[in-house]
Amino acid sequence: MTQESLTQDAFTLIHRFEPGAAARPLLLLHGTGGNEHDLLPLGRIVAPGAALLSPRGAVSENGMPRFFRRLAEGVFDEADLRRRTADLAAFVGAARARYGIGAPLALGFSNGANIAAALLMLHPEVLAGAVLIRPMVPLAEPPAADLAGKPVLMLSGAMDPIVPAENASRLAQQLTAAGAAVTHRILPVGHGLSQADVSLATDWVRGLALPDAA
């Protein structure tokens, strides 16, 4: 698997930012082969009026952007994952200072959902919560994070050929054990994004009672 890192510092990560009037911004994290534009329409639907921060993954796998390296399908380079997660945490901090936004709610799909889960476990202070669409366990031995009631929505596919049901359930258990308020829904779909995901994510975000984002 040919992979190439794209050199970025804390705030030169390629990204799109759309300002918004709503208190809680969204951090949009695309899947493998996506980019900073992919999830903007979804973000606008899920959280109308929210500021949208959408970075591009800084790793290239056969020309496809990703947020961290993998050794094979479903086998992650955990050393790289930890480093890229720290880089993403630094980027979010720099973006908050630059754009004057609060701690974001992550909305990640596939590879983006995996790094969002890693961000929750490794840097729990960075996110207000997360919507994880088709995530899997990012770390074989996750640290003892304190997620202190942070809201997390996990949306898994019953017919997902990439993420085993046991793996998704284990991630939900890990996040719950760390204190997160996890809602895990298993949909009759595969790995791709579905209209059911959009509807469930929209309703869930609308129903959140998050503290002030400042």
CATH number at residue 198: 3.40.50.1820
With 50 as the cut, is the pLDDT of residue 5 above it?
A: no
Joined together, the tokens standing for residue 125 give 């202070």
pTM of the model: 0.92
* pLDDT more than 70, % of the chain: 92
Q: What is the pLDDT of residue 132?
A: 98
pLDDT band at 13 (very low <50, low <70, confident <90, very high): confident
| Residue 211 belongs to some domain of the structure | no
Closest CA to 178 of 134, 129, 212: 129
* Residues 112-169: tens digit of each pLDDT: 999 999 999 999 999 999 999 999 999 988 888 999 989 999 999 999 999 999 999 9
Give residue 171's identity as a one-letter amino acid code. L
Q: What is the pLDDT of residue 3?
A: 33
| Residue 212 belongs to some domain of the structure | no
The DSSP line for 5-58 is EPP--TT-S-EEEE--SSSS-EEEE--TT--TTTTHHHHHHHSTT--EEEEPPS
pLDDT band at 214 (very low <50, low <70, confident <90, very high): very low
Domain count for the chain = 1
Q: Which residues are catalytic?
A: 110, 160, 191
| Residue 214 belongs to some domain of the structure | no
* Residues 27-42: tens digit of each pLDDT: 999 999 999 999 999 9
